[in-house]
Amino acid sequence: MCASGKVALKTPVNKVSKTDRMMKTVTRERNMCGRFGLFAELDALAEQFNFDPSIMQDIYQPRWNIPPTVPVLTVQQSLGERTDSGNTASLLRWGMKGVQGKNQTRASRPLFNARGETVHRLPSFRRAFRERRCLVPADGFYEWIRDESGNRTPVWFHREDGAPIAFAGIWSSESTSDGNIDSCAIITCDANELVSGVHHRMPVILPPESYEHWLSPGEDPADLRAIIQPREWQDMSYYQVSSEVNRASNDYPSLLERAGQTGLW
């Protein structure tokens, strides 16, 4: 629970938010990691990812249904004066401004994901991959199983011991008329055996021993590409959750309650 003790309230069913309308477009892009949750205690996150929790004390809030375009907690290596906490934390908008076409004009939509196979060479991502890498902590992520009729059943992927995980991320800073906007994207890879029965892509989940390597400046790009390859996670599992997850504006703990036939997955 955050310092304020507030929990986001459910959006009335007769209202469709801007986020929900945007997510109808997002779900048509099937190469995406499009939703996750982060609700761990701030002090536990600070200990696991080695940052000073006071940085986020007044702004961190638990979220059970995080969609693209909203601010998300990220961890970067501290570039300032060294302290006992070697990293720093900040909120970055999930969705980078990319470029497209031969003239490299601005893409019309934010780029929420970067494919691990091409992140090192595409104009939208290659500088961030070289110079601005981050961790995106999460308690788990959602995917959807589609049946023959096109119905979508949400499932929740998580560590069996309940510990947070870290997605491999990149970030950028863009100058606008309103000042600098810092944003990030989550790197994806081919699905491992666990996820492949649900979706063909998944977010890159970094093992703890790779955190420092991923965040350190000046690393060899070939070494970085090696640690964002698909890997099996024996301590992870998934189960079916409520279809209320489908509405991105719904954000409350009961979204993670098991639904349907609990023995199905």
pLDDT at 162: 96
Question: Binning pLDDT at 50, 70 and 90, where does residue 3 land?
Answer: very low
Q: Which domains does the chain have, with CATH numbers?
A: 18-256 (3.90.1680.10)
pLDDT at 97: 86
Residue 143 annotated as catalytic: yes
Residue 33 annotated as catalytic: yes
- Answer yes or no: are the C-beta atoms of 72 and 66 closer than 8 Å: yes
Question: Binning pLDDT at 50, 70 and 90, where does residue 21 land?
Answer: very low
- Determine what percent of the chain is predicted with pLDDT higher than 70: 80
2, 29, 33, 184: which one is catalytic?
33
The residue ranking higher by pLDDT, 105 or 152, is: 152
134, 143, 184, 189: which one is catalytic?
143
Among 145, 147, 160, CA closest to 238:
160
Q: Which of 28-42, 43-57, 163-177, 247-261 has the lowest mean pLDDT?
A: 28-42
What's the maximum distance between 2 C-alpha atoms anywhere in the chain?
57
Whole-model pTM? 0.84
Contacts from 23-27 at CB under 8 Å and sequence distance 24+? 23/67, 23/68, 23/248, 25/109, 26/67, 26/68, 26/112, 27/144, 27/152
